[in-house]
């Protein structure tokens, strides 16, 4: 039996051999995953493992700079010799393999990426403005989109609902205490229109979709506009002052207790919060995700870009030189790249998680209850092994039967899985379903290689880039907490003056140089 260590915070099982899908893999391939819990900064973990040489057989590498470090250190096994015996892998990823080869100077293939490719229709738009439905109902189901819409909504609702479940009502909250909080989501209003995406990362540059060029993050007009919006909320007591230090756990509690009227960006928390509120006897307080744009975006009638990932360096995966049998591991990678493998790991087991009707997969009642959080056994998905093997090969597209491999991502199935309260809320808002606004107002933004462009952090420009990022992250909370419009402008001017003392254009130019060079390699 070939057992490999695999970072995953499981609670109900310790190895894949205890999971139904894992048992199938054990019997067919003789491979078992030993789940190793991990919390903390994973990029730092990657660097520490590389420095010590103590990395597992299969390693996930977070972003391109980490990949290149592992390649340069000789820690990854070239995969080219295995491709001739991997028909599923080479067919499924034939268009993206050339992009993955860009990671190395010798043009060999050292990695693949998980969770790509992505079909835009399967990506539920949730990371926007998350609002309590009882608050929407209280205010007559208003149509909210602009900053002004939300400011007026929060101001009125905080007056109308001063307490929630016996506690003081909170306006807008978010987990800014997380490493990606202030750095990532506080300034991200820029991605809500059709000019910029967030594929450049949470650091010093953002990518202009229309010009196909990187630009400074810190001086972007939409970043400033978003921070001014948060400052208006903060000054009027509509912004959670605790959120600057809140970690995810604190945000979860505020959602589960129903004390927060709104939550910024963290759409992945909605389902569990709604389940908690239902069990607590407050189904009317469930949350839904709604679109938000800056005032300028709304005035200009901008669409909202919907990121469609073709490559995803954030979830890069490679087989390391510590692997006892790389060829055997890659056979499992090839299996999961197949139609059978994708269905097994994402849809589950026929008869148990889905049935076949008219040649298409149909989720069972158990599967739907699992996704709504209605099963008594909350660890069902973990015990089944659903999505446990995603690092081996995982894509968010339709299967050959026309149903998404991840069935709950299929629009028709996804809508059927909504709770009665959230369905009612969207109907009251005049929407046919939870995705209607984005279907009508969204525009696909194929990211291409943008997420893969990274500056070497150990280089001189890498050091400059870190200073650019640190200045932005240090100053943004001060802007949100500014005492007045004039105070905001003074803090902003001082930040820009300090920023201009840095030769920041060198870093921006380097990003564009690397992007153009990578694009030329693909021609």
Q: What is the pLDDT of residues 257-272, one digit of tens each?
A: 999 999 999 999 998 8
- Token code pair at residue 51: 């420095």
Q: Which value, to the nearest 10 degrees, does the dihedral of the CA atoms of residues 252, 257, 260, 264 take? A: 20
Average pLDDT of span 62-69:
91
pTM, to two decimals: 0.83
Instruction: Give the span between the Cα atoms of 337 and 451, in whole angstroms.
Output: 22
Give me the pLDDT at residue 139, please: 98
CA Rg value for the chain: 24
Domains and CATH numbers, the chain: 2-113+310-388 (3.40.190.10)
Lowest mean pLDDT: which of 121-130, 161-170, 293-302, 433-442?
121-130
CA–CA separation, 168 and 179 (whole Å):
28
Is the model's pLDDT at 93 over the cut of 90?
yes
Residues 131-155: pLDDT tens digits?
999 999 999 999 999 999 999 999 9
What phi and psi values does residue 215 have, to the nearest 5 degrees? Answer: -135, 165
pLDDT band at 378 (very low <50, low <70, confident <90, very high): confident
Is the per-residue pLDDT at 523 higher than 80?
no
Res. 276: pLDDT tops 80: yes
Lowest mean pLDDT among 79-83, 242-246, 433-437: 433-437
pLDDT of the residue at 310: 84
Residue 395 near residue 88, CB atoms below 8 Å: no
Across 74-83, 91-100, 194-203, 400-409, least confident range:
194-203
**What is the percentage of the chain residues whose pLDDT exceeds 70?**
100
What's the average model confidence in pLDDT over 302-321?
92
pLDDT of residue 327: 97
CA–CA gap between residue 345 and residue 21 (Å, rounded)? 7
C-beta of residue 92 within 8 angstroms of C-beta of residue 337 = yes
Q: Is pLDDT of 58 > 80?
A: yes
Q: What is the distance between the alpha carbons of residues 285 and 289, in angstroms, rounded to a whole number? A: 13
Contacts of 338 (CB under 8 A, 6+ apart): 88, 92
Contact between 181 and 473 (Cβ < 8 Å): no
pLDDT of 123 strictly over 80: no
Mean pLDDT over the full length of the chain: 94
- pLDDT of 125 reads 80
pLDDT value at position 202?
Answer: 83
**Whole-number Å distance between alpha carbons of 366 and 343:** 17
Of all residues in the chain, the percent with pLDDT exceeding 90 is 81
Backbone φ/ψ region at 205: left (φ over 0), alpha (ψ -120 to 50), beta: beta
The whole-number pLDDT of residue 298 equals 98
pLDDT band, very low/low/confident/very high, at 477 (cuts 50, 70, 90) = very high
Residues 162 and 237: their CA atoms lie apart, in Å, by 12
Contacting residues for 60 by C-beta, under 8 A, at least 6 apart: 7, 42, 114, 315, 316, 317, 391
**pLDDT band at 402; cut points 50, 70, 90:** very high
Q: What is the pLDDT of residue 492?
A: 98
Residue 373's pLDDT is 77
SS (H, E, C) 353-417: CEEEECCEEEECHHHHHHHHCCCCCCCHHHHHCCCCCCCCCCCECECCCCCECCHHHCHHHHHHC
> Rounded to whole angstroms, how far apart are CA atoms 365 and 354?
9
Cα 366 to Cα 89: distance, rounded to the nearest angstrom: 31
Two tokens, residue 56: 């597992």
């Amino acid at each position: 039996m070939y057992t490999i260590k695999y970072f995953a915070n499981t609670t109900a099982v310790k190895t894949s051999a205890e999971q139904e899908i894992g048992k199938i893999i054990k019997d067919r391939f003789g491979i078992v995953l030993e789940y190793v819990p991990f919390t903390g900064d994973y990029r730092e973990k990657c660097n520490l493992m590389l420095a010590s040489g103590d990395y597992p057989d299969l390693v996930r590498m977070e972003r391109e700079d980490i990949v290149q470090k592992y390649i340069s250190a000789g820690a990854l096994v070239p995969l080219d010799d295995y491709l001739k015996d991997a028909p599923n892998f080479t067919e499924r990823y034939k268009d993206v393999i050339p992009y993955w080869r860009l990671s190395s100077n010798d043009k060999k293939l050292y990695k693949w990426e998980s969770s790509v490719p992505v079909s835009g229709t399967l990506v539920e738009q949730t990371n926007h403005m998350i609002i309590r439905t009882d608050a929407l109902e209280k205010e007559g189901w208003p149509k909210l989109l602009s900053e002004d819409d939300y400011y007026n909504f929060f101001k009125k609702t905080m007056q109308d609902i001063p307490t929630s479940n016996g506690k003081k009502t909170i306006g807008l909250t978010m987990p800014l205490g997380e490493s990606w909080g202030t750095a990532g989501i506080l300034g991200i209003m820029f991605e809500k229109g059709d000019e910029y995406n967030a594929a450049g990362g949470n650091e010093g540059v953002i990518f202009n979709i229309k010009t196909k060029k990187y630009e400074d993050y810190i001086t972007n007009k939409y970043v400033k506009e978003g921070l001014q919006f948060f400052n208006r909320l903060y000054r009027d007591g509509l912004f959670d002052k605790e959120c600057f230090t809140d970690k995810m756990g604190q945000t979860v509690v505020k959602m589960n207790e129903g004390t927060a009227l709104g939550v910024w960006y963290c759409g992945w928390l909605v389902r569990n919060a709604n389940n908690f509120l239902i069990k607590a006897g407050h189904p009317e307080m469930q949350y839904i995700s709604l679109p938000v744009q800056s005032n300028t975006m709304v005035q200009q009638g901008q669409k909202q870009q919907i990121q469609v990932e073709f490559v995803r360096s954030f979830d890069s995966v490679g087989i390391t030189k510590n692997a006892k049998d790389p060829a055997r591991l890659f056979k499992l990678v090839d299996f999961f790249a197949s139609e059978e493998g994708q269905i097994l790991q994402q849809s589950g087991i026929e008869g148990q998680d889905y049935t076949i009707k008219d040649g298409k997969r149909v989720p069972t009642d158990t599967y739907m209850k699992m996704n709504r959080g209605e099963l008594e056994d909350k660890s069902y998905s973990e015990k089944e092994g659903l999505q446990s093997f995603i690092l081996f090969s995982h894509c968010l597209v339709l299967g050959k039967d026309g149903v998404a491999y991840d069935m709950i991502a299929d629009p028709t199935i996804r809508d059927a899985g909504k709770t009665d309260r959230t369905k009612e809320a969207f109907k009251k808002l005049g929407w046919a379903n939870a995705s209607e606004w984005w279907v009508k107002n969204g525009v696909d933004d194929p990211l291409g290689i943008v997420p893969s462009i990274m500056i070497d952090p150990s280089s001189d420009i890498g050091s400059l880039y870190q200073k650019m990022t640190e200045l932005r992250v240090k100053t943004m909370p001060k802007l949100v907490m500014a005492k007045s419009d004039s105070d905001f402008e003074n803090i902003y001017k001082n930040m820009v003056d300090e920023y201009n003392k840095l030769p920041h254009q060198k870093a921006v130019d380097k990003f564009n140089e690397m992007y153009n060079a990578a694009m030329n390699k693909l021609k």
